[in-house]
């Protein structure tokens, strides 16, 4: 079964009050977004990542991919005006029958164990919510 992680990072960070969206802020010299992507890639060798970013930040997202990851496993699409629209934009890139993770990209403390538990639940019951 195909596996996709739709990592939604379409926010602009306005509530936080900064000029840089949270997903691009550095933690230990790497963008927050790096940690969410890396955890999914570590969890499954065959997972595909769909990264949903604000339209004005897709180039910055591509720079992160180029610097840290195998480009063949990650695609970028633009987010929408709402989280719903951003998730929808990401889901439109999913092909065939798949297990799909939808994850908020700035929630960078998820673990491989959590991802594996959600996967097992989704295979068994058709859904999983951590």
Tell me the per-residue pLDDT of 71-128, one tens digit each, with 9 for 90 and over. 899 999 999 999 999 999 999 999 889 999 999 999 999 999 999 999 999 999 999 9
pLDDT digits (tens, 9 = 90+) for 37-51: 999 999 999 999 999
Q: Which domain holds residue 19?
A: 2-125
Read off the pTM: 0.92
**Which residues of the chain form beta strands (DSSP E)?**
2-8, 26-27, 30-31, 47-53, 74-78, 98-104
Residue 104 domain-assigned? Answer: yes
Please name the residue that has the structure tokens 């997972």. 47
Please report, for the domain that includes residue 74, its CATH number: 3.90.550.10
Number of domains in the chain: 1
Residue 130 domain-assigned? Answer: no
Residue 48 domain-assigned? Answer: yes
| Number of Cβ atoms within 10 Å of the Cβ of 57 | 23
Residue 71 domain-assigned? Answer: yes
Residue 40 domain-assigned? Answer: yes
Residue 83 domain-assigned? Answer: yes
Residue 6 domain-assigned? Answer: yes
Q: What whole-number distance in Å separates Cα of residue 51 and Cα of residue 65?
A: 10
Question: How confident is the model at residue 59, as a pLDDT?
Answer: 95
């Amino acid at each position: 079964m195909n596996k996709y992680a739709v990592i939604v990072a379409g926010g602009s960070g306005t509530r936080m009050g900064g000029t840089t969206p949270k997903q691009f802020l550095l933690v230990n010299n790497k963008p927050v977004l790096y940690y969410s992507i890396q955890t999914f890639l570590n969890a499954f060798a065959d997972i595909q990542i769909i990264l949903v970013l604000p339209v004005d930040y897709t180039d910055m997202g591509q720079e992160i991919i180029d610097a840290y990851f195998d480009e063949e496993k990650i695609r970028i699409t633009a987010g929408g005006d709402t989280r719903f629209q951003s998730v929808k934009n990401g889901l439109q890139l999913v092909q065939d029958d798949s297990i799909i993770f939808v994850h908020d990209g700035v929630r960078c403390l998820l673990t491989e164990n959590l991802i594996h538990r959600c996967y097992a639940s989704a295979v068994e019951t058709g859904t999983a919510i951590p």
